[in-house]
Copies of this chain bind each other. A is one copy, B any other.
């Protein structure tokens, strides 16, 4: 090769027979590249005397020591707690933490169009943001390490909970209390109504009901925008069904509170008339006696940061980490009336 011309990453990629993104990932020790591929790309780069751009060199020597957190909703406790965990570990390791709030479409656009050109971070943590294909390509052009905190897809190395398991735990709790007419309020992201926020959560419900041999009444599954007020309205729909549910499972604690408000305003009691269970263990759930499935949010932040640091050190950590959830029993759930509590599959109401 003509050494008077600068060897670029594209040359390395072509010679190694991989895509630009893969070459970049291989050389930046991000994950998602098979060891053999990484070795081949590294060997080609060495042979071609590929020198990373000044920016890339800066990254390699750790000159930036900065990590970007991409967060969609700073005003929700979940994201604050997650960011708190991330910040603690990253700061302790000597990294600066740059905050990118991408809540509205403009913020998203600005981030994904501009950041890649600026190359001022070693890594990006996407905090429970569903990333589109276009955004994914932009991120990959940066050639930096990317991880996901609390994410619902497995594009990047991630730490999250098992959403299906969480909802299974909630459903089993209600089944054990003797409930059979169980309603579910399912959340969609208003900005992306095409897909449920928590696909796994919906799946977990159907799986648990099927396992217990209890049919799902589709009239009792209501899909709504994420949030307490939409859930309050969803509950109105559920109260308009002729045969009321005896229990309601909401996809988040905020949504459970919305459902409880509607139940209360309709002159019914929680849990005497209708049991309610949420998902999350919101900081206020304890104060309103809400039964829920606790997810360790701060721990997901801490653990994601550790995963990222391991990747930056060139280690090979588990790229798909799930933290456990558990039911927290409070006073918003109770045995179904006129039916004994007991193992779900054994004792249908009689």
User: Is there an interface contact between A74 and B81, defined as CB atoms closer than 8 Å?
Assistant: yes
Chain B residues near A260: list those with CB within 8 A. 287
- Segment of A92-100, A209-217, A307-315 engaged in the interface with chain B: A92-100
Residue in A75, A76, A79 with the greatest tally of chain B CB atoms within 10 Å: A75
Contact of A81 among B75, B97, B232, B283 (CB under 8 A): B75
Measured between beta carbons, the chain B residues less than 8 angstroms from A200 are: none
Structural contact, B100 and A91, CB atoms closer than 8 A: yes
Measured between beta carbons, the chain B residues less than 8 angstroms from A288 are 257, 261, 288
Q: Is the CB of A74 within 8 A of B87?
A: yes
User: Does A348 sit at the interface, judged by CB under 8 A?
Assistant: no
A103 to B69, CA, bound (A): 19
Give the chain B neighbours of A96 by CB distance below 8 A.
Answer: 98, 120
Instruction: Indicate whether A80 reaches chain B with its CB closer than 8 angstroms.
Output: yes
Q: List chain B residues, Cβ under 8 A from A289.
A: 261, 264
A149 to chain B, nearest CB (A): 13
Nearest B residue to A256 via CB reads: B287
Q: Are A80 and B75 in contact (CB under 8 A)?
A: yes
Interface size on A, residues (CB 8 A): 40
A298 in contact (CB, < 8 A): yes
| A204 contacts B by Cβ under 8 Å | no
Q: Which residues of A approach B to under 8 Å, CB–CB?
A: 69, 74-77, 79-81, 83-84, 87-88, 91, 96-101, 103, 107, 110, 120, 228-229, 232, 254, 257-258, 260-261, 264, 282-284, 286-289, 298
Q: A74-B87, A228-B287 known; 13 other A-B pairs, CB under 8 Å? A: A69-B99, A74-B80, A74-B81, A75-B77, A75-B81, A75-B84, A84-B101, A87-B99, A96-B98, A97-B98, A229-B287, A257-B287, A258-B287
Instruction: Pull 24 A–B residue pairs with CB atoms less than 8 Å apart, ordered by A.
Output: A74-B80, A74-B87, A75-B77, A75-B80, A75-B283, A84-B101, A84-B103, A87-B100, A88-B101, A88-B107, A91-B101, A91-B107, A96-B120, A97-B100, A98-B98, A99-B99, A228-B283, A228-B284, A254-B287, A257-B284, A257-B287, A257-B288, A260-B287, A261-B288
